[in-house]
Amino acid sequence: MLVLGIDDAGKGPIVGPMVLAGCLLEEKAEKELKKLGVKDSKQLTQRRREFLAEKIKESAEAFEIVLAYPDEIDGKNHDGINLNDLEAIKTAEIINRINKGFGKIKVIVDCPSVNIAKWKDFLKTKIEDLSNLEIYCEHKADVNHVSVSAASVLAKCEREKEMVLLKEKYGDELGSGYCSDPKTSKFLENYSKKYRKNGLFRQTWSTWKTACSKKEQKKLGDF
């Protein structure tokens, strides 16, 4: 049976897209990729991820990568669709694209929600054809399943490419995009208002709103 692993990268940052990847593998390919050292992308260096990403693409029966940019994340949020629900919608998008004539597929998803059963039920409402699918949603699937590890590598590499493009436009001071990164935190503080219409920040997030209010307070303090 073919296995379709799905994982995300960039769910947490304030800057740049959330990326989801799906990787469809035969059992033989899974074993070969495991021997090569494919594992959860967080346990690999960027250089190693980039090397393995090419091997994964060569070995996969199919793979898909989808992105959700800040404007989409904010728009869905305004519509009452939170990030976990958006991730389910994007996960279904990957499944629907890949599920074309491969026969029976075991789908394993690294679940972003605490409530796995509820999230899985919502995911299934977005899938066009469930007849040939076995769907498993788990925590730490990116650690426990090679297909999901492979997907995590593809997602992380795509996220890194997106950040390179953003840094070319906004400079290295942009940092990693995560608020825990002092560079990003400083960039957010300095440019939250200036770049508010550029689709750079996730503006429904409290961290962006806080940075904007700090900027306003500083301006008021100038008088």
What are 85-119's pLDDT values in tens digits?
Answer: 999 999 999 999 999 999 999 999 999 999 999 99
Q: How far apart are CA 59 and CA 25, in angstroms?
A: 7
Average pLDDT value for the chain: 91
Per-residue pLDDT tens digits for 154-184: 999 999 999 999 999 999 999 999 988 999 9
Angle at CA of residue 176, ends 88 and 141, nearest 5°: 35
The CATH number of domain 172-216 is 1.10.1200: no
Q: What is the pLDDT of residue 19?
A: 97
Q: What is the pLDDT of residue 54?
A: 96
Q: What is the pLDDT of residue 135?
A: 98
Q: What is the pLDDT of residue 192?
A: 85
Percentage of residues in the chain having pLDDT higher than 70: 94
pLDDT of 214 > 70? The answer is no
Q: What is the pLDDT of residue 77?
A: 87
Domain covering 2-166 in this structure, CATH number: 3.30.420.10
Mean pLDDT of 29-57: 92
Q: What is the pLDDT of residue 216?
A: 52
Please answer whether residues 49 and 41 qualify as being in contact, where contact means their C-beta atoms are separated by less than 8 angstroms: yes
Q: What is the pLDDT of residue 221?
A: 39
Q: How far apart are CA 62 and CA 86, in angstroms?
A: 23
Mean pLDDT of 120-125: 98
Q: What is the pLDDT of residue 219?
A: 46
Q: What is the pLDDT of residue 222?
A: 39
Mean pLDDT of 116-128: 97
pLDDT band at 193 (very low <50, low <70, confident <90, very high): confident
Q: How far apart are CA 91 and CA 85, in angstroms?
A: 10
Domain spans, the chain = 2-166, 172-216
Mean pLDDT of 119-130: 97
Q: How far apart are CA 211 and CA 196, in angstroms?
A: 11
**Among candidate residues 104, 106, 107, 78, the one with its CA nearest the CA of residue 91:** 107
Percentage of residues in the chain having pLDDT higher than 90: 79
Exposure b/e, 86-99, CB count within 10 A at least 16 = b: bbbbbbbbbbeebb
Per-residue pLDDT tens digits for 60-75: 999 999 999 999 999 9
Q: What is the pLDDT of residue 131?
A: 95
Q: What is the pLDDT of residue 215?
A: 54
Q: How far apart are CA 48 and CA 22, in angstroms?
A: 19
